[in-house]
Amino acid sequence: MQTAVCWQVLGRVLFYIDDCGIPLTTAHCRQALHLTEAALEAGTEAQVYARAVELVPDYFDLPEVLIPEQQPPLLRGSIGYHHND
């Protein structure tokens, strides 16, 4: 039996927020259910998945993504090839 789209969307949303470090409390699960309900109004199956991802920041306070600066800084340099002219 094929899994219903609503279960797949809800599962993906819960996995996503859990992976972001948001605890899966009862309140957060309810928010995920409301998000899934709103996403199901998007139309086709492909649109439902896309809409669910778009709605996550509207329903949950996602942590800021911190990308560290690259170390050491990139500088133009020579790797020691010399021409013997």
Tens digits of residue pLDDT in 57-85? 999 999 888 888 777 777 777 676 666 66
Residue 16 lies in a domain: yes
More confident residue, 25 or 74: 25
Residue 31 lies in a domain: yes
Give the domain extent around 28. 5-59
Residue 49 lies in a domain: yes
pTM of the predicted model over 0.85: no
Contact indicator for 60, 17 with CB cutoff of 8 Å: yes
Which tokens go with 74?
A: 């990139």
Number of domains in the chain: 1
Residue 76 lies in a domain: no
CA distance 30 to 40: 15
Longest dimension (CA), the chain: 75
Residue 27 lies in a domain: yes
Residue 32 lies in a domain: yes
Beta-carbon count within 10 A of 35 CB:
22
Residue 54 lies in a domain: yes
56 confidence band (pLDDT: 50, 70, 90): very high
